[in-house]
Amino acid sequence: MKEFIMNQEKLAKLQAQVRIGGKGSARRKKKVVHRTASADDKKLQFSLKKLGVNNISGIEEVNMFTNQGTVIHFNNPKVQASLAANTFTITGHAENKQLTEMLPGILNQLGADSLTSLRRLAETLPKPAGDKAPMVTVDEEEEDDDVPGMYNHKSLLDYLINFNIISKEKA
């Protein structure tokens, strides 16, 4: 009799595991096994192959600018494209970075709206004690080296933005 009670308890536990809703609802026939990410990746690659995507080589980095002022940065991505299907894929390790982390190398990629958001971002940066005071001073002896002094964020950012606008006008 004791074995019979134990089996009933095990059976009740198993029944509770496969029940979808509450008491009195239907039970599933079998437990659904969730697929791994690699299975989804294979399915995606198969769909891309049907679209006829081709690899594009020679792309070292991809930067996607968001409305929040962040950049999704891919270093050495795998880029595929199908012009007939109007499809582009970028695969690789993505990093979310702030726009200021990518300066100054990213300036030639910025559009007009990004430049204005960059200027607004410069205004919100914390200012040093003196508005015109440089953050790091350069000694007279160090001026012979090719290391220029750093200025406060706003003046440096304004210089870079103005330089970028002037270089685009000349082109």
Name the region of 69 (left: φ>0; alpha: ψ -120 to 50; beta: rest).
Answer: left
Residue in the structure block whose two tokens are 């290391």: 147
pLDDT per position as a tens digit, 84-134: 888 999 999 999 988 777 777 777 677 666 667 667 766 776 665 555 544
Domain residue ranges of the chain, discontinuous segments joined by +: 36-99, 103-171
Report pLDDT for 105: 73
What pTM was computed for the model? 0.49
Mean pLDDT in the chain? Answer: 72
Residue of higher predicted confidence among 68 and 137 = 68
Cβ contacts of 72 within 8 Å, gap of 6 or more: 63, 64, 66, 94, 95, 96
Q: Domain 36-99 is of which CATH architecture?
A: Single Sheet (2.20)
Closest CA to 111 of 158, 168, 171: 168
pLDDT per position as a tens digit, 21-32: 667 766 666 667
Report pLDDT for 129: 54
Q: Which one-letter DSSP state was computed for residue 109?
A: G
Report pLDDT for 77: 92
Tokens encoding 21: 């809703």
